[in-house]
Chain A
Amino acid sequence: MKAAPFEYTRAASVVEACALLARHGDGAKLLAGGQSLVPMMAMRLARPAWLIDINEIAALKFVAVEKDLARTGACTRQCAVALDDALAARVPLLRQALAWVGHVQTRNRGTVGGSLAHADPCAELPLVARVLEARMLLRSAKGTRTLEAEKFFAGPMATSARADECLEEIHWPVWSWRHTGSAFTEISVRHGDFAMVAAAAQIAIDGDGRCVRAAFGLGGVGGTPLAFPKIAARLVGTRLDDALVEDAAHAAAAETAPGSDLHASAEYRRHLASVLAARALREAREKARAA
């Protein structure tokens, strides 16, 4: 036994989970897939007094693809999301990103909501949420509210969710332009590890090949995943020539302030940011052209 002692309870519903959070206060933590929380507890970086297990709440596990948005329950397993063909057709970036997330064994257990709520700035799913401007539906005993990804991610491993709130659903906007393409790429020490730097992009073009919408972002280069809507807006109306794409990637990288660690210097990370952002944008453009 490596974790510090704690009390365990299984919530049968989201309402019950919220009631338990309200009752136990700051000492309580929700346990979803546990692929980050359990190791943190083993290393005693986290020492919750209560763990509220939400794994048995069926209502938190679903994928619903609607006209303008796709909804995923917070406790939907990453593997279930990656395998959902209808979702992959409407929000392809999710499947593309999940190919980089951990391994089969961790994706079988790890959840979409858990990854977002953990808010690792190097993690893939928070970057997708930020780039696509996903919205988080939070529930507490007092009611529900919706937070945009930009406001949800507050810092490294920190979100704006209150201690009494449970992430219930994630709403992923669907781009309905016919010629839409997206791409996810990253550099890590080994495949499945956290990214040194990750990049995600989504591009829509019209029948003449002109960009009608562009979005892209970077992970691993700041305290939260970053998106660059102003730089992306400059691509709209253009034919997305390589030079323009590289300028945009370079401008985005220049706005970042990555840190240095054992694996990579800040300078190398900024270099990767520029290269990977351009790579993701070009790949998304090619997919949009082929769509």
Chain B
Amino acid sequence: MSETLYTIEVEVNGKRRSGTVPARLSLVDWLREELHLTGTHIGCEHGICGACSVMLDGEPVRSCLMYAVQANGHRVTTVEGLAKPDGSLSVLQDSFCETHGLQCGYCTPGMLIASQALLNSNRNPTEEQIRDAIGGNLCRCTGYQQIVEAVQLAAERIAKEAK
């Protein structure tokens, strides 16, 4: 039996991308396997670990809990879309390096998406708000402290740049 294919058009990191997908292909599989945007990681594949977080129309969601066909007509931002246009690291990404907010790096794309989404809506988050924002992302290396520090540092830097 051949599987029905569905045509989709999704704005990914500002570019219009189209594809032909079976309904059961998850959004994260489409991003990684078809668009070769392998920055988004796959961890648990059932919504526990947060590694696959992307922004859908600006809000962080888990791309393993969505089918690619559902993203048709929507806007997706992956970790590749966070860097500056010249390819250099964003303030948040650089802050993660600065505070040692990553070790093995597996959770990092999800952490970056979750904390960038927080900073987009809240320029000056409290530690509690930061911990809540990354509460759905598991990290087995850092103990989270340096990740919290990275977000705090990024918020300070963004505030300074705005002055």
Contact = CB atoms under 8 A, between A and B. Distances in A.
Interface of A: 1-8, 31, 34-35, 38-39, 41-43, 51, 53, 55, 79, 102-106, 108-109, 191-192
- 8 pairs of A and B residues whose beta carbons are closest in the complex: A103-B136, A8-B23, A39-B46, A3-B24, A108-B59, A38-B65, A109-B61, A105-B60
A51 B23 contact: yes
A1 B22 contact: yes
Contact of A53 (B1, B45, B65, B70): B70
Contacts of B22: 1, 5
B53 to A, nearest CB: 6
B23 A105 contact: no
A286 B4 CA distance: 58
B158 interface: no
Given A102-B136, A105-B62, 7 more contacts: A2-B26, A6-B23, A35-B62, A38-B65, A38-B66, A105-B60, A105-B114
9 contacts: A1-B25, A2-B26, A5-B22, A8-B69, A38-B67, A79-B59, A104-B60, A104-B135, A106-B65
Interface residues of B, number: 33
A108 B132 CA distance: 14
Interface in B2-43: 3-4, 6, 22-26, 29
Given A8-B6, A35-B47, A106 B24 contact: no
A4 B132 CA distance: 34
B125 to A, nearest CB: 12
B153 interface: no
Nearest to B72: A10
B136 to A, nearest CB: 3
Nearest to A40: B46
B63 to A, nearest CB: 9
A42 B56 CA distance: 21
A133 B60 CA distance: 32
Most buried by B among A38, A104, A108: A104
A99 B29 CA distance: 30
A104 B136 contact: yes
A42 B136 contact: no
Contacts of A2: 24, 26, 45
Interface string B46-77: 11001001001001111011110110000000
B4 A7 contact: yes
A264 B56 CA distance: 37
Contacts of A191: 135
Nearest to A51: B23
A72 B50 CA distance: 28
B26 A1 contact: yes
Of the listed residues B46, B56, B137, the one surrounded by the most CB atoms of chain A closer than 10 A to its CB is B46
Contacts of A42: 45-46, 64
B24 A5 contact: yes
A106 B62 contact: yes
Nearest to B133: A104
A109 B74 CA distance: 14
Given A8-B67, A38-B47, A42-B46, A106 B23 contact: no
